[in-house]
Amino acid sequence: MGEGILLGAIVIIGGLVARYMQTHPFYKFKTQKYKEQYQIKLHDALRNKFDENQAYWISRALADHLFDFGRRLYVDHHIETHEKFIPGEKMYLQEYRLETPENLCEQLVLRAVELKIPILRFQNHAKELSGLYLIPVGQLMPSVVKRIAGGDPYVTELEQMRLTQAQMAIFLAKNS
């Protein structure tokens, strides 16, 4: 009898947790998996600079910044207290080589489509990331991005961003 009650309680608690996970913005989107994979790789890279706990929260803040286009989708006190590290640490993201620029570009366009990011926000974010040599834009934009359903406005923005010959050379040198 007691085992049945315990089993019932576990099923109920499991159902409540599953329902919470379905409604929490952290688990709501299909493209969340890209952000989580990036965050795990970033956490490993940051372990060399920070203690375990701090590396985890900084990696979460940076992954949120990157994959949520500089806006907050949910409230988390730990993330907010570690956002101050974003400006300094994002400068090193290209050096960590966590994701190929082509894959990151594709993932961000997929994410933008799913989150319905306003074009101006996307444009500003893409400029920032291309300036950090994290994603290819203009002539360097990967063709796979053009085939993303619903991605046409974002692809147009990426195509319209122009790079000088010097910028292209730096991008190619840093990402070869």
- Mean pLDDT value of segment 58-80: 88
Terminal CA-CA length for the chain: 65
Q: Tens of pLDDT along 39-62? A: 999 999 999 999 999 999 999 999
DSSP state, residue 112: H
Angle at which helix 32-46 crosses helix 101-115, to 10 degrees, equals 130
Q: Tens of pLDDT along 84-121? A: 999 999 999 999 999 999 999 999 999 999 999 999 99
pLDDT of residue 79: 83
Q: Is the pTM of this model over 0.85?
A: no
- Mean pLDDT value of segment 74-89: 87
15 and 7 Cβ atoms separated by less than 8 Å: no
